[in-house]
Amino acid sequence: MGIYVHQTAEEFIASLSEPDFALAIVSAINGGDFGPIRILDDPSPQRQLADIHNKLPPALRAKFKSAVVRIIREWVVDDPIQQLEPVVFLAGYIKASDAVAPLRTLLETYAARGVYNSDSINEGVGSILGVLHGFAPDAEVKKLLEKLYCGDELVPRFTGQIFVALCCCDPDNYTFYVPRLLQFVRETPENFPRLDLILGEFVDQVTIEIFCRELGELTSDDQLEMLHLIKANVSEVVLLPTDSGIKLQYESHAPIPLRLPENSLVRLLDLQCETIATEYGGAVE
């Protein structure tokens, strides 16, 4: 971590105006020292700055957050977004929730300019979305993510990332977001090279109890498609046929009955048999 005397850090930060404080943060992120505080090569400057923030008294922590938000708010959108990424990460590390509004403006500006086809922009946007996920279940974050998720300008490669963040914001209503995910998985599977990570995090965020309880809100086709994707990509999920239907087990959780229409259960049993046959190289009687 940065090497400094605690009181010296407080005095340095207290002496700066907010604009000068913002400049000092940018300087430190770009390899300079943070006033009298020496920033080391490892860990990252933003991690060291977050550590400094966490050791400050409340009033100076608020000043620190305000300076970080100022950097994001005043960012010139034509500048390379990679230069802003460390500041965005810093905002996430110190939980500067006021950064949500300028980050929303930044994403909307990129969308309006139609620049999401740029790989460099997409990497930066992915970082911003990841930080916004960290602020969930903030109401403003949910509002922004829903706008991105349901809008015509949604970039398929971000679908899974936004889906998981939205489910974190509102796990009880995850079924509202599932059809859009399934649509993009069907239409652009190349954008989901790690569907296992997306669905694994989804199950952890929503919990297996809520997943089973709300599954019936989907159409029968979407129920089966979602179950098939989770079974295929989350190894800890097991479907257990019983005399009364099918139960779903996840890790060490007790098996939970799937309350689905009879025709869906029959199709799911068929799907389970097909899966077993494929795994063991033969037909199942």
> What confidence tens digit (pLDDT) does each residue in 58-117 have?
999 999 999 999 999 998 777 777 888 999 999 999 999 899 989 888 888 777 766 555
Determine the pLDDT at residue 152.
72
Determine the pLDDT at residue 239.
80
* CA–CA gap between residue 249 and residue 117 (Å, rounded): 40
The span from the first CA to the last CA of the chain, in angstroms, equals: 62
Determine the pLDDT at residue 268.
62
Does residue 40 contact residue 3 with C-beta atoms inside 8 Å? yes
Determine the pLDDT at residue 232.
87
For residue 257, the cross-strand partners are: 247
Give start and end residues of each alpha helix (H) in 30-135: 45-54, 58-73, 85-93, 100-113, 119-135
Determine the pLDDT at residue 90.
95
The two beta strands, 256-257 and 245-250, are antiparallel
Give the tens place of pLDDT for each residue, 147-159: 888 877 667 788 8
Determine the pLDDT at residue 10.
84
Does residue 161 contact residue 143 with C-beta atoms inside 8 Å? no
* Burial grade of 40 (CB within 10 A; 0-12, 13-18, 19 or more): exposed
Determine the pLDDT at residue 83.
84
What amino acid occupies position 46?
Q
Determine the pLDDT at residue 261.
65
- In 182-273, at which residue ranges do the beta strands (DSSP E only) sit? 237-242, 245-250, 256-257
Residue 65, token pair as written in the block: 């957050």
* CA–CA gap between residue 195 and residue 185 (Å, rounded): 9
Determine the pLDDT at residue 93.
94
Angle at 84 between CA 83 and CA 88, to 5 degrees: 145
Residue 240, token pair as written in the block: 């257990």
CA atoms within 13 A on the CB side of 63: 19
Determine the pLDDT at residue 166.
92
- Residues of the chain below pLDDT 50: 1, 3-7, 273-285
Does residue 92 contact residue 131 with C-beta atoms inside 8 Å? yes
For residue 142, the SS3 value is helix
